[in-house]
Structure 1
Amino acid sequence: MKKVLITGGAGFIGTHLSQNLIEHGYGVIVLDNLSPQIHGSDYTFPEQEGIRFIKGDVRNKADWEEALQDANIVVHYAAETGTGQSMYEVHRYAEHNISGTALLLDALVNTQHKVEKVIIASSRAIYGEGKYTCDEHQVQYPSSRKEQDLSLGNFEPRCPECDEPLRVLPTDEDSKLHPSSVYGITKLSQEQLVLNVCQSIGIPALAFRYQNVYGPGQSLKNPYTGILSIFSTLIRSGGKRINIFEDGQETRDFVYVGDVVKATMLGIESQTVSQDVYNVGSGVATTVQEVAEQLRTLYGADTEIEITGNYRIGDIRHNVASLEKISAGLGFRPEVSFTEGIRKFAAWVEQQEVQGGSYEESIRQMKQKGLMK
């Protein structure tokens, strides 16, 4: 029985992956620091047959040494993940995401181990604005939008050559990598570190560039990640309006957690692909306004939806993944539509205790530091 170490395995995706691995006959080792921002202050990891839990920190060399002792495969999820928060907690994000990954690789290079494959959770954030096209100048990879344009309500990226609005294209793995947030920079560093070092020591490694993952089990406490969780908490708290940034027409590629686990399992079990990167998404763009309206309907609420025109520094406008490469290389095709997935998510949320949201405090922090206008 092969054993899979999942760092951050007590988190959203890691929990789903753990259950799938056990069902397929794997042993699981979970290394997690049980961050209060994600789990709350009173969370304890439940004992489960087939899972060995280590409360530890990826910034601690000794914790890595303990976790790696019996591991055959490493799935590295442990990371700080809030795009907005990363812009004012720069050292924290670099320390967890980059230094933590460096300690893993130090251990793989310098100690005896049984690891035969590494999978790193990368992110769509490494693309920045991703891929667009101009009628006259063809494919473009626009830089971060200018604050002057955003302040005037001109939210669409514009062609750097003719200044005309651009049309979004599915972003493929060969697209330009130019992250627009500290979080995106750290994820790109993680990906490059893992692929480079693992290749040098002959360990197969894959980077999965996850899009916006959602589904049952998503943290309802963390105000920095997941608009489905944020909007759900606001709606179920009663009397709190949903404030949508920009004009509500910004889009994201929302991919159901079950499809993410499916793609990851294909990577774990593949004997033919290594040292490669794959987008993992739905391949469908959904507007933020549509998310809010669907959730309001599913909860049967009359919550006010306000299009504020506010914007955050470092946010991208559009995002949709090209899935051609992962389809050809791993045979992955998403199975759960957004309509079906959001219905499953909302049904799960309704079974949870309403959380005291800290979303307003996160907004106050960003405004105070000049990162939200």
Structure 2
Amino acid sequence: MKKILITGGAGFIGSHLADELLAHGYQVRALDGLSPQVHGPEGRRPDYLNRDVELMVGDVCDREALDRALEGVDAVYHFAAAVGVGQSMYEVAHYTRVNNLGTAVLMEALIARPVERLVIASSMSLYGEGLYKTPHGEVREGGERSLDQLRRADWELRDTDGAVLRPVPTPESKSPALASIYALSKYDQERMALITGRAYQIPTVALRFFNAYGPRQALSNPYTGVLAIFASRLLNDSPPKIFEDGLQQRDFVSVYDVARACRLALETPEAAGEVFNVGSGQPQTVRAIAQRLARVMGKEHIEPEILGKYRVGDIRHCFADITRARRLLGYEPQVRLDDGMAELAEWLADQSAEDRVAQASAELSARGLTV
């Protein structure tokens, strides 16, 4: 059996990938620092982590810990990262250390101990704004909205004539537009892995994850995925807080589909050296997602709170064009949003969460990171 290392393997996506790999006959080892922000102050092995996963607790920036974790390993998934757009704008050193330096230390370890395949977790955040069409049908990349426009609560992107641009699916060919320290660090992780892989003949694949959702998200982490943040508020009978007008569009993809895409990236020879979007290909407004989550949780009486504010680092619209993943990986999303949300609600029924959203919002506001 092939032995696979997942850095960050005790986390949300990493643990689901471990289940997927184990079900297909792989051995799995996880290296995870068990960050208190994600796993709580106890720093213990999460109950949801499959008992067949060999967990090694260690810092991804620690070369000795990485060398131990790489012993006897055939392939590596690099998922270890600090996650969160807003927090990255003031904990700059922390995000740069974990994401950029951590990846650099891993690359040096892999130069000394090459593997058959490296799969790197990248992010849709590196696109910044997605792709758009003008009223005349011209496809163009979205630019930045001015602070003056945002202060007027004029949220949509416009062309030079003032006409609203229409969002369309974003392919991998779109140029990066790095709007946050988090986005910059994810792009750095992706490029570092691909450059090193090419130079040292380590077949490398980068997967740009869109908004993954499902059981096991860290509900008390106010910088995690938007659905987990909304769930935390609803579990405490508080309204989800939504920036701008709530009509910004995102791509919500089941963690089970993400895990399957990750396995396909390992098993598909043609994937080496490529970058793939991993999403559902279906846009949803953030407001509609909040309302749908409240409904499946039996809390439809709690309407989201529309803040009418802009958060520095946020973008308006971005959802995935998954044509390349379909063609080269054979990837096809299998979990319908209604089914995925119903399962999420079932899991949430047995969960509790410490609502830290107000604290996180206050931190952003105190630093002038909301407009």
TM-score by length of 1: 0.96
Deviations 1:83-103 (A, max 9, x none): 110111111111110110011
Q: Which moved more, 1:265-274 or 1:165-174?
A: 265-274
Tell me the residue number matched to 1:141. 141
Deviations 1:201-225 (A, max 9, x none): 1110000000000001111111012
Alignment partner of 1:182 is 2:181: yes
Matches of residues 1-373 of structure 1 in structure 2 within 5 Å?
1-45=1-45, 49-109=51-111, 111=112, 113=113, 115-136=115-136, 138-159=138-159, 161-238=160-237, 240-301=238-299, 302-352=301-351, 354-373=352-371
What is the Cα deviation at residue 136 of structure 1?
Answer: 3.9
Deviations 1:142-172 (A, max 9, x none): 222211111111101122x433211101000
Q: Which moved more, 1:242-251 or 1:256-265?
A: 242-251
1-structure distance, mates of 2:297, 2:21: 33
What is the Cα deviation at residue 3 of structure 1?
Answer: 0.6
CA contact (8 A) 1:39 1:221 kept: no
2-structure distance, mates of 1:323, 1:264: 14
One-letter amino acid matched to 1:249: L
2-structure distance, mates of 1:48, 1:296: 30
CA contact (8 A) 1:223 1:358 kept: yes
Deviations 1:310-339 (A, max 9, x none): 120110111110011110001111011211
2-structure distance, mates of 1:244, 1:200: 44
RMSD: 1.4
1:362–1:134 CA distance, 2 compared to 1 (3 A): same
1-structure distance, mates of 2:308, 2:50: 46
CA contact (8 A) 1:253 1:283 kept: yes
SS at match of 1:75: strand
What is the Cα deviation at residue 308 of structure 1?
Answer: 2.0
Deviations 1:270-321 (A, max 9, x none): 1232100000000001111111111221122222422221120110111110
What is the Cα deviation at residue 43 of structure 1?
Answer: 4.2
What is the Cα deviation at residue 114 of structure 1?
Answer: 5.2
2-structure distance, mates of 1:210, 1:219: 17
Number of residue pairs matched by the alignment = 368
2-structure distance, mates of 1:243, 1:201: 46
Q: Which moved more, 1:247-256 or 1:295-304?
A: 295-304
2-structure distance, mates of 1:276, 1:15: 24
TM-score by length of 2: 0.96
SS at match of 2:16: helix
2-structure distance, mates of 1:43, 1:357: 20
One-letter amino acid matched to 2:88: S
Deviations 1:183-233 (A, max 9, x none): 011111111110111011111000000000000111111101222111112
5+ unaligned residues in a row in structure 2: which ranges?
Answer: none
1:162–1:119 CA distance, 2 compared to 1 (3 A): same
1:48–1:308 CA distance, 2 compared to 1 (3 A): closer
One-letter amino acid matched to 2:41: S
One-letter amino acid matched to 1:317: R
CA contact (8 A) 1:9 1:18 kept: yes
SS at match of 1:272: helix
What is the Cα deviation at residue 48 of structure 1?
Answer: 5.0
One-letter amino acid matched to 1:223: P
2-structure distance, mates of 1:129, 1:49: 41
SS at match of 1:220: coil
2-structure distance, mates of 1:356, 1:289: 22
What is the Cα deviation at residue 137 of structure 1?
Answer: 7.4
Percent of aligned positions with the same letter in both sequences? 40
CA contact (8 A) 2:133 2:167 kept: yes
One-letter amino acid matched to 2:252: F
1-structure distance, mates of 2:323, 2:308: 35
SS at match of 1:283: coil
1:361–1:98 CA distance, 2 compared to 1 (3 A): same
1-structure distance, mates of 2:43, 2:149: 44
One-letter amino acid matched to 2:56: I
1:49–1:345 CA distance, 2 compared to 1 (3 A): closer
2-structure distance, mates of 1:291, 1:48: 30
One-letter amino acid matched to 2:294: R
